[in-house]
Amino acid sequence: MNILTFDIEEWYLESVKLNRPERYRQLDETFAKVLDELDRLGMKGTFFCVGQLVISHPQVIREIVARGHEVGCHSNIHTWLDKMTPEVLREDTTEALKALEDVSGQKVVSYRAPAFSITPKNKWAVNILAECGIKNDASIFPTTRDFGGYKGFPQDTPCIINHDGATLKEFPISLMSILGKQVAYSGGGYFRLMPYWLVNRRMKQRDYNICYFHLADLIPAHRKLMTKQAYEEYFKEPGTLKNRLIRYAKSNVGTGDAFEKLKKLLSDTQFVNIQQADEMLDWSRMNAVYL
């Protein structure tokens, strides 16, 4: 089973945080190319969208629905869950779901936290999301990473996560071992940086893969180094020159041919979205993971 997902927040971030309106055209063009390619291949993806996209760019949500894809929730304003209290997460999720459902006309039951920010420190997020009506989650990154990550999570295959009696069907990020370290390979900067043959080989070795992409991953980079103020507002950590240079490299390297790599991956692999995967799996046979 190969699952295709996209995290859609760039239009919103450009309009309220990064202030680079010239990027809208690039985002529009790349979005259209992705949807056209999926149409050509007859594949459906899950597009995790921030709720406030409904205010800034509602046509994005409408186009996702018109092409037959699943709309998922990616929070309301792309705040990481480890920066929230339970009360704030409840309000954020409720507002996002209402906005997305009003425009899409779909019941939204799939969720991904920004930066995979469900961690051992905020396991209570499972209870809040379940309370808000979320059924499927794709927020667990079962190893360490720069932001987010759930070190010690016992598997990188579908399971049912349980915290204080609340349950979610979990679709964790897929991992591979490189020099003894567990790393992702099927999305984001990992997909851009790794050679295609390695990604393709690893995916064919496994029965379960979940891929995740941002539109920015697929646009050849001509971005400037973030200012200290912009970096700190977005990443919530010191905007030292070292931190900004590292982030610049991680965000830019490999974007030149990323869309062509994605096209090849789509041609070589049969994908489904989370909604389809949920229906295909026998959840009575899935492991229960108690957080």
59/147 same-domain check: yes
Residue 148 to residues 53, 94, 235, 265, Cα–Cα distance (Å) = 23, 22, 12, 26
Q: What is the pLDDT of residues 112-169, one digit of tens each?
A: 999 999 999 999 999 999 999 999 999 999 998 877 789 999 999 999 999 999 999 9
The C-alpha atoms of residue 21 and residue 32 are separated, in whole angstroms, by 18
190/232 same-domain check: no
Torsions phi, psi of 96, nearest 5?
-65, -45
By residue range, what is the domain housing residue 91?
2-220+256-290
Whether the per-residue pLDDT at 269 is higher than 80: the answer is yes
162/202 same-domain check: yes
Residue 179, both tokens:
């020099």
231/276 same-domain check: no
Q: What pTM was computed for the model?
A: 0.89
Rounded to the nearest angstrom, the gap between the alpha carbon of residue 186 and the centroid of all alpha carbons in its chain is 11
Provide the edge-to-edge strand list for the sheet that holds 288-290. Answer: 209-214, 2-8, 46-49, 70-73, 110-111, 136-137, 166-170, 159-163, 288-290
Whether the per-residue pLDDT at 245 is higher than 60: the answer is no
46/170 same-domain check: yes
**Residue 141 DSSP symbol:** -
205/156 same-domain check: yes
70/116 same-domain check: yes
For residue 53, the domain's CATH number is 3.20.20.370
157/13 same-domain check: yes
23/139 same-domain check: yes
pLDDT for the residue numbered 254: 47
Number of Cβ atoms within 10 Å of the Cβ of 216: 22
Whether the per-residue pLDDT at 13 is higher than 70: the answer is yes
211/227 same-domain check: no
Q: What is the pLDDT of residues 40-79, one digit of tens each?
A: 999 999 999 999 999 989 999 999 999 999 999 999 999 9
